[in-house]
Amino acid sequence: MTEVIRHDLIILGSGLAGLRAAVEACRVSGGKISVGLVSKVQLMRAHSVCAEGGTAAVLRPEEGDSFELHAWDTVKGSDFLADQDVVHRFVRIMPEEILLLEHWGIPWSRDPDGRIAQRPFGGHSFPRATFAEDKTGFFEMQTLYDTLLKYDNWTGYSEWFATSILVEDGRFRGLTVIEMASGKFYVMEGKALIIATGGAGTLFGFTTYSQTVTGDGLALAYRAGIPLEDMEFLQFHPTGLIPSGILMTEACRGEGGYLLNNRGERFMANYAPERMELAPRDVVSRAMMTEIEQGRGFKGPRGLDYLHLDLRHLGRDRILERLPLIREVTLKFLGLDPIEEPIPVRPVAHYSMGGIETDIDGKTRVEGIWAAGEAAAVSLHGANRLGTNSTAECLAWGAISGKQAAEYVMHQGPAEKAPEELVRREYERVFGDLLRREGRENLYHLRQELRDTMVTAAGVFRTGDQLEEGLRRVREIRERFQFISIQDKGRAYNTNLIHALETENLIDVAEVLLAGALAREESRGAHARRDFPKRDDEKWLKHTLAFRTPEGPRLEYKPVVITTWKPVERTY
């Protein structure tokens, strides 16, 4: 018999958005509701600890920054696909979030006069990236976790893997989860759910993501009947370390670093003469790939040709004060000291602008389910996210969804029982079918093929032929997945089974991304079609929605919310 765990509110994911939601739910409820925080990793091992450069907020209006300027930068950076009501709400919330973290004890970096320091970042027309050295995500996570420990009405579930979201009559009923240490199958019943599981960047072989980020929440929501929005917009960060893909934070350029080609030229002068290295990420990534394709890069391993990120002119003291993690990483992984040598970098899969469709409050179409952070498409980022708006979004909508979900459950009666038939079917799918497979296909070879396919089909530059071939190959991989072999038949810490479940999730997300990208016959933000090189506002100023059907994604569209600015040409 399946064991049942009950909470009023379940939060799936323990990164910045999940922790912020948990803190807010505990605060708002005064400890009166039961909160379950479910994580596939240890609670302080979520990928958010890898965020480096900063968190955007308007802190210095007296020096020329303003809510309107932050909003304009965000909307222009999004290539006008961001919902402008969402953007205006976001920029007004963020100063409060920065000060809350300050009161909770985060060690923000300081200017000599003692004020919280801020630095320039790509696409921002004012230095509003608030930071803690180059370890901002780690310090934000630690501060939120320490704050959460003040409350006793929550329970953490480290290394518990969710396999399905249970929905009945359009309402949330619970989750099915595997406790990885024992292999036991549980049902978590609750009145509300917040999905905060992050993105899906490990779809790509060369990525900044931790290998645990496999699009789980996206795929579970998709299967539960919630559409995925704008998944074709996958951000490539300009500076991934060769050959690992480890993030070389945009703060390197925010502090004054240069990008150089093999001729020693600061080539961004030819692409974004006003902003140079601090143009938005889609602009810089396309410029870098153009330099590499035209022979002005350096030969790299496994076809990973690269360019140089040069920090040497910043000097030892500034690098040690502002970019200590970058130096630590390059020394550890390459034996290279950026004080003395340039860093080898190229564009790398980094962030999902799209995600689970929500309204401006983070609420989904299923009653009782919210989504927050990178897993959600609220839509703040549109077609291209500005650096430091991501950690900010996690804080803002972690707080919004945590408050709303807590207030929702406080006005509900007792949680209803999870539907037994759905639970039985999910148990049979995982343990009666998947675990017993002994086919000829190697799971790990398939996973690598999927990642290679995405690199080829949906990189910085795309064409219809590449996308069509990629979609065909992903569907072929889905068919072959039926014939995988699960070698480990045990229950305790069966990572072989978990990897199979993750691969299923990645296949679903890959199909949605490619289908949306193939249909969108224009270039906008991070979606750059060589066969449709221009932005087409007449036909494509709209959000893509992907609904799951047995035949694959069914695409629909909805309008972008425009309250203030009509689209204009983006120049930097």
**Positions marked catalytic:** 237, 253
DSSP string covering 11-78? EE--SHHHHHHHHHHHHHHTT-S-EEEEESS-TT-SGGGG--S-EE----GGGT--HHHHHHHHHHHT
What is the largest distance, in Å, between two alpha-carbon atoms of the chain? 68
Query: Rounded to an integer, what distance in angstroms lies between the CA atom of residue 239 and that of residue 564?
Result: 33
HEC-encoded secondary structure of 227-267: CEECCCCEEEEEEEECCCCCECCCHHHHCCCEEECCCCCCH
Tokens of 542: 């709209």
Give the CA count within 13 Å in the CB-facing half-sphere of 26: 21
* DSSP string covering 215-226: -HHHHHHHHTTP
DSSP letter assigned to residue 552: E
- How would you classify the pairing of strands 355-357 and 369-371? unpaired
Q: At what angle do helices 495-519 and 216-223 cross, to 10 degrees?
A: 70
CA angle 184, 422, 440 (to 5 degrees): 65
Burial class (CB in 10 A: 0-12, 13-18, 19+), 469: middle
- Beta strands 228-229; 542-549: pairing state: antiparallel
d(CA 309, CA 237): 13
DSSP count for the chain of H helices, then E strands: 15, 23
Going by C-beta distance under 8 Å and a sequence separation of 6 or more, which residues neighbour residue 169? Answer: none
